[in-house]
Amino acid sequence: MSRKRGIESALDKCLFHLQEGDSIEECLARYPKLVQELEPLLRVAVQAQQLRGRVSAPKEALAAGRASFLNQAAILRDERERSRTGTLSRLRDGLRVAWAGLARRRGLTTIAASVLLLFGLLGGGTIASANSLPGDPLYPLKRASEQVQLALAFGSETKAELRDSFDKRRIEEVHSILEVRRETRVRFKGTVLRIADDQWAVSGVDLVMETDTTVEGNPLIGREVHVEAVTRSDGRVIARYVRVITPVTPPATATPVPTATATVTAEPTNTEQTAPALAPVTPTSEPTATQSSSKRKPKRTATPKPTSTPQEPTPSLEPTEVETATPTPTLMEPTPEPPRDVKVKFEGLIREITSASWLIGDHSVQTDASTQVLEEKGTAEVGAWARVKAIRRQDGSLLALQIIIERASETHGEPVEFRGVIDHIGDTEWTVEGQSIRIIDSTVIEGTPEIGHVAEVKALRLSDGSLTAKHISVKPPELQEVEFEGVIESIGDSIWVVDGHSVHIDGETAIQGNAWVGLSVEIRAVVLPDGTILARHIRVKSPTIEPSATPIPTTTPPPTPTPEPPTATPTQENPTEPTATPSPGQDQQAGPTVEAAN
Amino acid sequence: MSTGVGKPLLERAQDYDPAALAEIYDQYAPRIYNYIYYRIGDSGLAEDLTANVFLNMLEAIQANRSWRTSFSGWLYRIAHNVVVDQFRRRGKMRELPLDERLVSLEDDPAKSAELTLEVEWLKRAIGDLTADQAEVIILKFIEGLTNAQVAGIMGKTEGAVKSLQYRALASLRKKLESEEQSVKEERH
């Protein structure tokens, strides 16, 4: 190791020990021969550390940046959720441009710009969008403003109140959409009030359940659900996806619902209510008008069985939508809702496979002859990741309709290690040295991934021959510098042949002298990872003979790579270091630009 | 430096969860501001560029260019790119004005003034370094990052960072000595 390298290494170790709490003297004691060189540098390092915490960002600026950041995030989240790019993308760009323009304008401080923007979103923009409905151009702004309100709200109670009011708003929007007979997609959250084959009611919205409607979870009356649906011009709301949020009571099957023998059902009109009445309620003698805005017609329950004198209604319960000819005060035992087959979807790791059932994630799912197993992305085996479409049968068991293998097993396979140049970087797949490697969530990637860099890959070769990366260490290409002499055999635009070697020329190649075929040249070049010789400097030697059309071979030996250490003299900015000249698009992850111009 | 941000928080951030993003912002915005401020020496511009870093972060998440290993390294890398863009647009700003936002860590006013002056020299000297040297000093000694993190942000090897920090400290030392010398000469 050169002395300079030795100092660099000792300095680095001393700096590490200083960070760990050692004094400069203790550090120097480890390197008595280098005290003279190290001491002043360590003192400067300690001095530089004094700047830590010396600057604090103005609180107003941070607050403004925070609001802008959360505002933008809310817009993007809404955009992602709705999978709509048109209006929201323009809105986002517009906001960003507005933000940038406001913030950069002299005389208008960042905080002022932020406040203006926020007012624009929460104030004027929202006023304009307040009455908008799904499908309206301003509707995304309405949703974005709600997200901002949520983000800026203090306290969980306030946030919960806001969420509830937004949930109610979603349901009101559905009714409004039905009034105007618009066909559009709607999403809302509500309480299941009725389940009857293909007709459900969720918080006052009548849903049509079609054969391809997916229901996730165990739907029972009283449970809260997320609904994705489409409205039709004939006033129907076709459910596409219903997800049960949380069980009302454990165990789930204990949720009582009035049955045909019950004379009264007290269904909460308030959609904010998370739990339905758990016990039979005191009946009303007359159907009670409700304050709910629901336009749903009251549904009649089955034949009542009058038993005794009716009692006064309990005002707090506000029972609705029920007509009873002769109510009964008898507290009827609730009968569990009859179970029914529902479609469910889930995904998870395959833990066990037997002839009759599979354990996928936490679910045991049965298979039969009709179960489809799709293995396009990997073999169905323990350790693979599977997506399952199944039916939850009346007894609660699951029968798989489809098991789709999403990812091959990560635990099986032959370990392989290799090293090579990165040719392609994708989100889920890289190509290294011509080999395709699958990147999975657990793949550890060290270094900065970049095409042309060298990757040391530890992977598993699965049974289908594919490779799944476990660990990738990315290193900048190790460029070797070579110097050699030879006779020019041919001269092309980008490639010269010198002594039988193809020498690549690019815009940075410096050529000194007039080059002709047959002349001797001194070449300084780098050898790229793929073996390409890229000339950095070519000096044409004074011709000792007249140039001729016929190349005159010489006895100059072929170039011998002479690797240089990655650093040069301390007075220069490391001209031989490979990373000193970054290629465009160096960081594929972090942003649009790559390297500082000195 | 500990990232201090657990996986669930980062996962939630990738889903634009406002609470997670707010937590990340509160934790990292002051550091990113410091880094940018020391690199460009203009507090107003540092405020705007800090905001840009976080907006770029959201765009990167949207474009599936999220962090793969270290979140903090990734965020500093975005900040690095934002600064580089700024340099390209306007050229490197070498004037580092004495800023009223310097925080005094010293109770004694005399000592505080002395320290502030020393800090000012340091800032000026760092501003006179090459961009790479300044960056390694800021990331390593002011931000307290490890060699591996600095290497990731600057797109260099750890070996190159070790060499660079040696040259950076040596240059900084020379510049501080020359600053001290000129102050002495002014006093005489």
For residues B113 and B174, state if they share a domain: yes
How distant, in Å, are the alpha carbons of A277, A280, A337, A437 from that of A196?
20, 20, 10, 50
- Chain B environment of A578 (Cβ under 8 Å): 157
User: Helices B147-154 and B71-90, interaxial angle, to 10°?
Assistant: 40
Residues 6+ away with beta carbon under 8 Å from B113: none
For residues B101 and B188, state if they share a domain: yes
Contact A445 B68 (CB under 8 A): yes
What local confidence, expressed as pLDDT, does residue A419 receive? 84
Contact B147 A12 (CB under 8 A): yes
What local confidence, expressed as pLDDT, does residue A468 receive? 81
Q: What are residue A419's phi and psi, to 5 degrees?
A: -135, 140
What local confidence, expressed as pLDDT, does residue A255 receive? 40
CA distance A70 to A35: 51
CATH number of the CATH domain containing B73? 1.10.1740.10
Average pLDDT over residues B73-88: 86
Residues 6+ away with beta carbon under 8 Å from B54: A65, A68, A69, B25, B29, B32
For residues B108 and B158, state if they share a domain: yes
Contact B155 A582 (CB under 8 A): yes
For residues B179 and B111, state if they share a domain: yes
Nearest to A461 by CA among A431, A416, A417, A422: A416
Q: What are residue B83's phi and psi, to 5 degrees?
A: -65, -45
For residues B74 and B104, state if they share a domain: no
Q: What are residue A2's phi and psi, to 5 degrees?
A: -70, 165
A-facing residues of B in 168-187 (CB < 8 A) are 169-170, 172-173, 176
- Using the Cβ of B9 and the Cβ atoms of chain A, whether some distance falls under 8 Å is answered with no
CA distance A243 to A215: 6
What local confidence, expressed as pLDDT, does residue A435 receive? 82
Average pLDDT over residues B125-147: 89
Residues 6+ away with beta carbon under 8 Å from B74: A589, A590, B66, B67, B68
Contact A70 B21 (CB under 8 A): yes
Q: Give residue-wise pLDDT tens across range B64-77.
A: 777 777 788 889 98
Last residue of a domain, one of B93, B117, B133: B93
Which member of A80, A96, A475 has the closest CB to residue B16? A80
Count of domains in chain B?
A: 2
Contact A69 B58 (CB under 8 A): yes
**Which of A261-265, A431-435, A521-525 shows the lowest per-residue confidence on average (mean pLDDT)?**
A261-265
- Chain B environment of A76 (Cβ under 8 Å): 16, 58, 61-62
Smallest CA–CA separation between A68 and chain B, in Å? 8
- Chain B environment of A448 (Cβ under 8 Å): 152, 155
Please give the residue that has the higher pLDDT: either A341 or A38.
A38
Please give the residue that has the higher pLDDT: either A450 or B159.
B159
For residues B126 and B171, state if they share a domain: yes
CATH number of the CATH domain containing B147? 1.10.10.10
Q: Give residue-wise pLDDT tens across range A155-209.
A: 777 778 888 888 888 998 898 888 888 888 888 988 888 887 788 889 889 999 8
Domain range for B119: 97-188
Q: Which residue of A has its CA nearest to B135?
A: A596
Average pLDDT over residues B129-136: 90
Write down the mean pLDDT value for chain A. 69
**Pairing state of beta strands A185-196 and A224-231?**
antiparallel
Average pLDDT over residues A586-594: 39
Q: Which residue of B has its CA nearest to A445?
A: B69
- Using the Cβ of B29 and the Cβ atoms of chain A, whether some distance falls under 8 Å is answered with yes
For chain A, helix (H) and strand (E) counts, in that order, are 9, 28
Please give the residue that has the higher pLDDT: either B20 or B91.
B20
For residues B111 and B77, state if they share a domain: no
C-alpha distance across the termini of chain B, in Å? 44
Nearest to A491 by CA among A476, A479, A481, A503: A503
For residues B146 and B89, state if they share a domain: no
Last residue of a domain, one of B46, B67, B93: B93
Smallest CA–CA separation between A488 and chain B, in Å? 36
Average pLDDT over residues A48-56: 79
Which member of A72, A73, A574 has the closest CB to residue B160? A574
Contact A151 B18 (CB under 8 A): yes
Q: Is the pLDDT of residue A590 over 60?
A: no
Contact B156 A66 (CB under 8 A): no
What local confidence, expressed as pLDDT, does residue A96 receive? 52
For residues B88 and B107, state if they share a domain: no
Q: Is the pLDDT of residue A257 over 80?
A: no
How distant, in Å, are the alpha carbons of A28, A452, A456, A457 from that of A421?
41, 6, 9, 10
Average pLDDT over residues A447-459: 81
- Using the Cβ of B105 and the Cβ atoms of chain A, whether some distance falls under 8 Å is answered with yes
Mutate which: B11, B85, B141, B143, vs A, most A CBs within 10 A: B141
What sign results for the dihedral spanned by CA atoms A394, A399, A404, A409?
A: positive
Q: Give residue-wise pLDDT tens across range A466-489.
A: 788 888 888 876 667 788 889 898
Tell me if A395 sits within 8 A of A357, measured CB to CB. Answer: no
What local confidence, expressed as pLDDT, does residue A338 receive? 47
Contact A566 B126 (CB under 8 A): no
Q: Give residue-wise pLDDT tens across range A531-548.
A: 778 888 899 887 654 444
Contact A448 B68 (CB under 8 A): no
Mutate which: B39, B102, B169, vs A, most A CBs within 10 A: B169
For residues B87 and B2, state if they share a domain: yes
CA distance A563 to A482: 7
Smallest CA–CA separation between A108 and chain B, in Å? 11
Average pLDDT over residues B106-120: 60
For residues B186 and B101, state if they share a domain: yes
- Chain A environment of B101 (Cβ under 8 Å): 55-56, 58
- Chain A environment of B123 (Cβ under 8 Å): 51
For residues B102 and B83, state if they share a domain: no
Q: Is the pLDDT of residue B171 over 90?
A: yes
- Using the Cβ of B80 and the Cβ atoms of chain A, whether some distance falls under 8 Å is answered with yes
Last residue of a domain, one of B54, B74, B93: B93
